[in-house]
Amino acid sequence: MHSDTFLPKSDRRSFFSAAAASAAVGLAWPEYLLADATGPTTDSFGALLPTRPFGKTGERITLLGLGGQHFRRLDVKDLAPAIDTAIEGGIRFFDTANAYGKNQLSERFYGEYLTPKYRDIIFLMTKSAARNSDAAQKHLDLSLSNMKTDTIDLWQIHTLESIDDVDQRWDNGVVDVFLEAREKGKVRHIGITGHKEPAVMLHMIERFGQRGIPLESIQMPINVCDPAYASFIEKVMPVCLERNIAVLAMKTMCGGRLFGGIGEGWGPRGKIDTRPVIPGSLAFRDATDYVWSLPIATRIAGFDTIAQLKENIEAAQNIGKLPPEKQREILAAAAAHAGPVREYYKRNLIERNNPAEKNF
């Protein structure tokens, strides 16, 4: 955690620029990610986007995934076209969560529009934020029913809040429900998600390691601002690579705040940086290419319109290779925008460093 989180504005630019110049550039890709770099290129519904290994499971997933939270914002008439557009564009990784939308709305959309037609070719992921074993089992049963499937490809322990939250989910039997579901074949892989603080993710990795249980994926913020402020890329990603845990990149546009304004519309409202990073300081493709230049399994992208979905697909079809010097240029440009206002989802750090900011 950076002790300079709340530096005066006049000092923050130079501090963040210096940090970005050295952080998260040229991270080494392990051999298992480089092996068989081509992977499958087509299936029964057409050409796939390029695929990457899903950790050390032996499976591959498309390097662009669809963020299920955003389906609740679409007009009903656009739901099926959005799914079809994603499939036609080569996306085969689909993200959602039990908590997305009232009464599991996003999962139910998947059950109505995605799995009946495409279940055999997609990699389907959902999540549960349950705090006890009974809730976790209920969420599993609901997710299977909502999405009209017998098996979930990836089930993730969702939105880890704190060190205590990690320990309580172990103590309250949540992790045991996940492990039992994997043993029974109701889910094929298990992972975790979190966006508040790198130390929380590291603690959960350690708890799995202490039990000798393979953790297969981590979904966490990965974006051009992250290296300059309490970085998941800098602190968590190397541990994931060492332990062969697949990294799923989320918040790749800082929840929309790279474009200025309030972004996703959740989180603090009182302080908003309206300066757009995109297209003000960087091009959209600079931000996407940087994320894909890192050793991630997939970039999970949200969208509010089918046009935005198509823009993400086009970026995935035409990824630009970034040498280290270009990565440094991108990070230096983004660093001036990094910090608790843009990266509002890193809530623990905001509250710990300045309790007066708790409700902004």
User: Which DSSP string do the residues of 165-218 spell out, in sequence order?
Assistant: HHHHHHHTTHHHHHHHHHHTTSEEEEEEE--S-HHHHHHHHHHHHHHT----EE
9 pLDDT above the threshold of 70: no
Q: Do the strands 60-62 and 51-53 form a parallel or antiparallel pair, or are they unpaired?
A: antiparallel
Q: Look up tokens 């949540």; give the residue.
A: 174
133 pLDDT above the threshold of 90: yes
What does the pLDDT look like over 84-96, one tens digit per residue? Answer: 999 999 999 999 9
Question: Has this prediction a pTM greater than 0.85?
Answer: yes
Q: Look up tokens 């050409």; give the residue.
A: 47
330 or 17: which leads in pLDDT: 330
Of the candidates 286, 273, 295, the residue with the CA atom closest to the CA atom of residue 331: 286
Instruction: Provide the pLDDT for residue 3.
Output: 30
Domains identified in the chain and CATH numbers: 9-357 (3.20.20.100)
Which 8-state DSSP code applies to residue 29?
Answer: P
132 pLDDT above the threshold of 70: yes
> Please, which residues have CB within 8 angstroms of residue 47's CB and are 6 or more apart in sequence?
41, 90
Instruction: Provide the pLDDT for residue 138.
Output: 98
What value does the mean pLDDT of the chain take?
Answer: 88
Instruction: Provide the pLDDT for residue 15.
Output: 33
